[in-house]
Chain A
Amino acid sequence: MNIPVKTWRFHGGVHPADGKALSNSVPAQRAPLLERYTVALQQNIGAPPKPIVAKGDVVKKGQLIAEAGGFVSAPIHAPTSGTVGDTVEVPGANGGTIPAIEIIADGKDEWGSGLEPIPNWKNTDREILKKRIAEAGIVGMGGAAFPTHVKLSPPPEKGIDTLILNGAECEPYLTADHRLMLERTEAVLEGAAIAAKILRVDRIFLGIEENKPDAIAALREKAGAYGVTVVPLHVRYPQGGEKQLIYALTGRSVATGGLPMDVGCVVQNVGSCAAIRDAVVEGHPLIERYTTVTGTPVVNPGTWILRLGTTVEQALTFAGGVKERAAKVIMGGPMMGFAQTSLGVTITKNSSGILLLQWKETSGYTSNPCIRCGRCVRACPMKLLPGPVSVMVESENYDEAERNYVMDCMECGVCTYVCPAKRPLVQHFRRAKAEINAKRRAAKAKQA
């Protein structure tokens, strides 16, 4: 649909060099089948899934190998057919190690998910669709990895009236959602329609940054049939931040400490929508995803369709390796991604990109004193006072920081990006949030 929709401008934000030209015109390629996949056993926020296979078991592609460990959890499926290998420890994208199950491919790549396709989802009960999404292990694929079926189960009193599809992809360099929206347009839209049916809403917005005109055109051509309104948004990081996106599309602001459903909205990543469609219409669980492998050192930057359990090393090999020395390997984008020291990190459900940066492209931090220039205050999309709050954190005055809403910080990093004194602002806030959360947990434990 081409109805012009009023949009709102969120406060602050920045426009970093986006680097998307490296990979946004390269069609996504399907990675060749590997001999071995290392499937991490924690790929969602919430309870870790429980493995249900043992070494030597024969599994089919899409077969359940770890069941959900609770309501806020998502099961994990075999990325290909083969035998179950050892349980090993792999480096996790955010540091530390996580257990993983090896799947040794038999080369046949035979489906056997045990999930019946539901092509006629329009006349299917909502609970069955919701159960299917839970069974397929779908999580928020934009980064947070929050189980999708939980998001699609808001309490009825919240009065959900809007489903928002997050196709902003505001992180520089990443083009996975861009390619997905362009190449799997109808899958995204159909998945959105399924989610809308589950939520019983008829207002569906797809927010997308204006720097993807080809995807906007493709989506608009098909969107009408699925009741989706495509809304191009100004190119400004973090346009895809959940609260910023809701504000941009509806003018509603989520209260501090609140959730999107408090303002009647549910936000889904476009990748998750395509996964919903595959799970319902094809009966395929979530075993692969679009991932951008990019950066100036990469020989062939582009977007790849990678099975979960592919290592970063293998993904980089598909992209031809490096031609320049890379100083950083980042899971995710340059603003919020995690730097890695090992190439053994595996692709998980929320791996939107692998970004390599050269030394000259990255930046270090020093603790220069704040010169109170106020750029962070102008740039903060949550309208916090990063400079003064960072001084409070430096003196470990967490109570004062909490009174200044440090818990509302979403760690988008624009304050650090703009700081001319090169202060590690967002890093201070992460520390403060961890300290305050620990204090809250301790207080709770004391009460109980």
Chain B
Amino acid sequence: MSEEIEKKTVVLPEPGSLVLSTSPHVQDGDSISKIMLKVLVCLLPAVIASIWFFRFNAVRILVYCGAFSVFAEYAWSLAIRRKPTVGDFSALVTGVILALNLPPGAPWWLCMVGSVFAIIVVKELFGGLGQNPFNPAAAARVALLVGFAGPMTQWAAPVTGELVSGATPLGAVQLAKGSKEAMAILGSPENLKALFLGNVGGSIGETSALAILIGGFGLLCFRLIKWQIPLAMIATIFVFSGIVHLAAPELTPGPVYHILSGGVMIGAFFMATDMVTSPMTALGGLVFGALIGVLTCVIRIWGAYPEGVSFSIVIANALVPLIDRLCYIRPFGWHSHSASALQIRRGEIK
């Protein structure tokens, strides 16, 4: 038969070289390191804005935090004899986000303590990437704020770099409390414009709402974050502070002031949305975002601290298992465990 002749010229796969594995045999090609690189790309606008407004101070803090974070992760891997995981870039992401959360006057050792705390205590001691209950950058900011209140409030005016104290927009709110007129001045259009662009005092990466919004838009386009979290968080802060402002204008400035100032934008897009420490379902994302919004407003308006975003994120992080438990999704076809859907359709069973 012709088949016999053909067989000699036909090359067949060698059975000995075949790979045996279970399906699926293909994947969409995304990986943790690609995700982290995309996050870094989305952080670029905020990084550029921080350098624009805080010049050398921003460069210094970014380099310190990035380097200390990566080094801490590498050293930890060596110490516990694990294959180094710095290649997934998650430590670099943590370092950059932490840097953006520090004041322009932060000394090198503050960067070091923050980075080591974020990587070792918040992340690695819980088991590393994916196991940490708290967002490393948010938890580190909280720890530094509580432990090193002085250096953590080394504010500087943007561009000029002049060291000042109490110069952040939220610090100004704290000073203006009780005066309706002072609050009205804070909420003036020129002030709001400065807040939006970032030409104000504050942590190096959180001043420019515009830059963070550009990066946040990138995160949404790459589908790296749940839109439910920033939306719920910002909307809740807007509504909550708006109501308080209408009821007691001497207590707080208008809602736009709140969402543009402090860490709301960077918290909403880059910290609350951390995959590891936020709920998995869409409904959970809404609840989580709203919770952070409420807590932020409560701390800002009635609390001792002028800013509450990091505190709120860390508290909400702790509640994620509970939120996941309450906001579960039901499997396809759950509705008819005991009754068939047909019987329901026919009205035999309600």
Inside 8 A of A257's CB, which chain B residues have their CB?
Answer: 337
**Residue in B closest to A424 when the chains form the complex, CB atoms:** B22
Interchain CA distance A335-B144 in the complex, whole Å: 49
Pick from B124-132, B158-166, B196-204 the stretch touching chain A: B124-132
Q: Closest Cβ of chain B: how far from A84's Cβ, in Å?
A: 21
Query: Which of A34, A341, A408, A417 meets B333, CB within 8 Å?
Result: A408
What's the minimum C-beta distance from A97 to chain B, rounded to whole angstroms?
A: 15
- The distance in angstroms between the C-alpha atoms of A37 and B283, with both chains bound, is 57
User: Which residues of chain B in 1-36 are interfacial with respect to chain A, using CB atoms and an 8 Å cutoff?
Assistant: 1-3, 6-7, 10-13, 15, 17-32, 34-35
Report chain A residues within 8 Å CB of B78: none
A112 contacts chain B at the CB level, 8 A cutoff? no
**Contact between A327 and B332 (Cβ–Cβ < 8 Å)?**
no
B2 touches A32 (CB 8 A): yes
Interface residues of A in 73-102 (CB under 8 A from B): none
B330 at the interface (CB under 8 A from A): yes
When A256-B331, A382-B331, A413-B23 are in contact, do A264 and B18 touch as well, CB less than 8 Å? Answer: no
Task: Please tell me if the beta carbons of B24 and A339 are within 8 angstroms of each other in the complex.
Answer: no
Of A39-47, A213-221, A358-366, the segment with at least 4 beta carbons within 8 Å of chain B is A358-366
A159–B342 CB distance below 8 A: yes
Q: Roughly how many angstroms separate A158 CA and B340 CA in the complex, as a whole number? A: 10
A3 to chain B, nearest CB (A): 21
Given contacts A262-B342, A321-B12, A341-B15, contact A372 B25 (CB under 8 A): no
Count of chain B residues with Cβ under 8 Å from any Cβ of A? 57
Which of A256, A262, A313, A417 contacts B26 (CB under 8 A)?
A417
Which B residues touch A413, using CB under 8 A?
Answer: 23-24
> Which of B12, B20, B280 is within 8 Å of A339, CB to CB?
B20
Closest to A342 in B: B15
Task: Known A252-B341, A382-B332; judge A321-B276 contact (CB<8 A).
Answer: no
Q: Is the CB of B13 within 8 A of A356?
A: yes
Contacts of B340 in A (CB 8 A): 255, 258, 262-263
Known: A368-B32, A371-B32. A340 touches B24 (CB 8 A): no
B342 touches A252 (CB 8 A): yes
Q: How far is the CB of A390 from chain B (nearest CB, A)?
A: 12
Are the CB atoms of A385 and B329 closer together than 8 Å? Answer: yes
Q: Is A119 an interface residue (CB 8 A)?
A: no
Q: Does A433 contact B (CB under 8 A)?
A: no
Least CB distance from B39 to A in Å reads: 11
Chain B nearest CB from A438 CB (Å) reads 18
Interface of A is mostly: loop
Taking a contact as CB atoms closer than 8 A, the residue among B2, B20, B31 that contacts A341 in the complex is B20
The minimal Cβ–Cβ distance linking A358 to chain B, given in whole angstroms, is 11
**Docked complex Cα distance between A56 and B27 (Å):** 49
A256 to B334, CA, bound (A): 6
CA gap between A245 and B266 in the complex, in Å: 43
**Cβ of A248: which chain B residues have Cβ within 8 Å of it?**
none
A270, CB-defined interface residue at 8 Å: no
Q: B311-346: which have CB < 8 Å to A?
A: 324, 328-337, 339-342, 345-346
Q: Say if the beta carbon of B188 comes within 8 Å of chain A.
A: no
Which residues of B in the span 141-194 have a Cβ within 8 Å of any Cβ on A? Answer: none
* Contact A373–B18 (Cβ < 8 Å): no
Min CB distance B64 to A, Å, is 26
**In the bound complex, CA of A313 to CA of B334 (Å):** 45
Interchain CA distance A321-B8 in the complex, whole Å? 11
Measured in the bound complex, the distance between the Cα atoms of B85 and A351 in whole Å is 42
Say if the beta carbon of A202 comes within 8 Å of chain B. no
B332 touches A253 (CB 8 A): yes
| A408 with B332: CB separation less than 8 A | yes
Question: How many angstroms between the C-alpha atoms of A11 and B20 in the bound complex?
Answer: 31
Shortest beta-carbon distance, B229 to chain A, in Å? Answer: 11
B226 interface residue per 8 A CB criterion = yes
Residues 252-298 (chain B) with a chain A CB within 8 angstroms: 275-278, 280-281
Q: Once the chains are docked, how many angstroms separate the CA of A300 from the CA of B324?
A: 51
Chain A residues with Cβ below 8 Å from B336 are 253, 255, 258, 262
Assembled-state Cα–Cα distance A408/B332 (Å): 9
Q: A51: CB under 8 A from chain B?
A: no
A32 B10 Cβ-Cβ under 8 A: no
The answer, yes or no, to whether A201 is at the interface (CB within 8 Å) is no
Which residues of chain B have C-beta atoms less than 8 A from A370's C-beta? 130
The 0/1 profile, CB within 8 Å of A marked 1, for residues 30-56 of chain B is: 111011000000000000000000000
Give A411 to B276 CA distance when docked, in angstroms: 25
Tell me the smallest distance from the CB of A366 to a CB of chain B, in Å.
Answer: 10
B3 touches A34 (CB 8 A): yes
Complex partner residue of B11 from A322, A328, A335, A417, CB under 8 angstroms = A322
A383 touches B130 (CB 8 A): no
**Shortest CB distance A141–B (Å):** 19
Contact A334 B329 (CB under 8 A): no
Once the chains bind, are B18 and A254 in contact (CB under 8 Å)?
Answer: no
- In the bound complex, CA of A327 to CA of B19 (Å): 6
Chain B residues within 8 Å of A316, by CB = 10, 12-13
A253 and B333 form a contact (CB under 8 A): yes
Q: Which residues of chain B have C-beta atoms less than 8 A from A16's C-beta?
A: 26, 28
- Within the assembled complex, what's the spacing in Å between the Cα atoms of A387 and B278? 14
Contact A377 B281 (CB under 8 A): yes
A1 interface contact, C-beta 8 A: no
Residues of A within 8 A of B128 (CB): 369
A54 interface residue (CB < 8 Å to B): no
List of A residues within 8 angstroms of B1 by Cβ: 32, 35
9 A-B pairs (CB sep. < 8 Å): A16-B28, A253-B335, A334-B23, A338-B23, A343-B15, A363-B26, A369-B130, A374-B275, A430-B22
* B interface residues, Cβ below 8 angstroms from A: 1-3, 6-7, 10-13, 15, 17-32, 34-35, 127-131, 226, 275-278, 280-281, 324, 328-337, 339-342, 345-346
| Sample of 15 more A-B contacts, CB < 8 Å, known A159-B342, A328-B25, A377-B329 | A16-B26, A172-B26, A252-B345, A257-B337, A317-B3, A327-B18, A328-B18, A334-B24, A334-B26, A338-B23, A368-B130, A372-B278, A374-B281, A414-B24, A430-B22
Which 10 A-B residue pairings sit nearest by Cβ, starting from the closest?
A413-B24, A321-B10, A369-B130, A255-B336, A363-B27, A262-B340, A326-B13, A374-B280, A373-B275, A405-B331
Interface residues of A (CB under 8 A from B): 10-11, 14, 16-17, 32, 34-35, 158-159, 172, 243, 247, 252-258, 262-264, 297, 299, 313-314, 316-317, 320-323, 325-330, 332, 334-343, 356-357, 359, 361-365, 368-374, 377, 381-385, 387-388, 405, 408, 411, 413-414, 416-422, 424, 426-427, 430
